Amino acid sequence: MRFDVMTLFPEYCDTVLSESIIGRARKNGYVEVNFHNIRDYSENKHRNVDDTPYGGGKGMLMAAPPVYNCYKAICDKLGEEKPYVVYMTPQGKTLTQQTAMRLSSYNNIVILCGHYEGIDVRVTDEIVDEEISIGDYVLTGGELPACILIDCVSRLCPNVLSADECFEKESHSDGLLEYPQYTRPYEFHGVKVPDVLISGHHGNIEKWRKEAALEITARKRPDMLKK
Ligand code: ADE
């Protein structure tokens, strides 16, 4: 799977995505992430990418030409295959595990990170396939949301997680939160591991985990059960 991130801060994202599991997946070639500095595609000598909005109002907007030029350069590199373009914006649909699963089936995803007060709508209308938000709050830019999307989608791609890091039974994969987990020591601050988990009886353990997942979801996220 390949991601191309259009941003004004390429080093920012690269640092975040060079650590831990995603860093390992990139090194091993299971996920490719390329960063493109939109400023490199500015058409003026000061390398400006922003301008004041028509009609007045506060703040600056990202202008259409550098964003479009950057997108075109990525498409030219990719050749025949048109990438799926995602724009990180608080106006988008909220990211869910289901969205991540759907996106993990694409070969090429381009992620556009906004800044300032937004982007000239003519370019987003032309190139964007889907708008995604990471929640109902506003950040200073789309870089952190892009990193979150890449992390969340990449870990669903083949070979990114090892067998013991598998995602099949984790929270949100089946509409429930994950059951509680325990490891050594057997007793911690007076609290023992539930007997069933040391019984060795796989059927009972499975049943206990299902019930515990339901109970924990009802307690922490009752809205998920209503769905
Ligand atoms: N850019 C700024 N805030 C954002 C959010 N909540 N989600 C996605 N992109 C954003």
Decide if 36 contacts 10 (C-beta within 8 A). yes
User: What does the pLDDT read at residue 163?
Assistant: 80
Q: What percent of the chain has pLDDT over 90?
A: 91
Question: To test ligand 1's pocket by mutation, which of 89, 112, 151 has the most ligand atoms within 8 angstroms of CB?
Answer: 89
Checking if the pLDDT of 152 tops 80, the result is yes
| 73-88 residues labelled b (16+ CB within 10 A) or e (exposed) | ebbeeeeeeebbbbbb
pLDDT tens-digit readout, 42-99:
999 999 999 999 999 999 999 999 999 999 999 999 999 899 999 999 999 999 999 9
Cα separation of the two ends of the chain: 31
User: What does the pLDDT read at residue 172?
Assistant: 87
User: What does the pLDDT read at residue 123?
Assistant: 98
**SS3 state of residue 207:** helix
Between strands 61-62 and 50-51, the pairing is antiparallel
Distance of CA 90 from the midpoint of ligand 1 (Å): 4
User: What does the pLDDT read at residue 115?
Assistant: 87
> Can you say whether the dihedral through the CA atoms of 122, 125, 128, 132 is positive or negative?
positive
11: pLDDT confidence band, cut at 50, 70 and 90?
Answer: very high
118: pLDDT confidence band, cut at 50, 70 and 90?
Answer: very high
Full-model pTM: 0.94
Distance of CA 137 from the midpoint of ligand 1 (Å): 7
Tell me which residue has its CA closest to atom 10 in ligand 1: 89
Which residues approach ligand 1 with their CB closer than 6 A? 88-90, 114, 133-135, 137-139, 142, 145
Ramachandran quadrant class, 171 (left: phi over 0; alpha: psi -120 to 50; beta: rest) = beta
Tell me which residue has its CA closest to atom 9 in ligand 1: 89
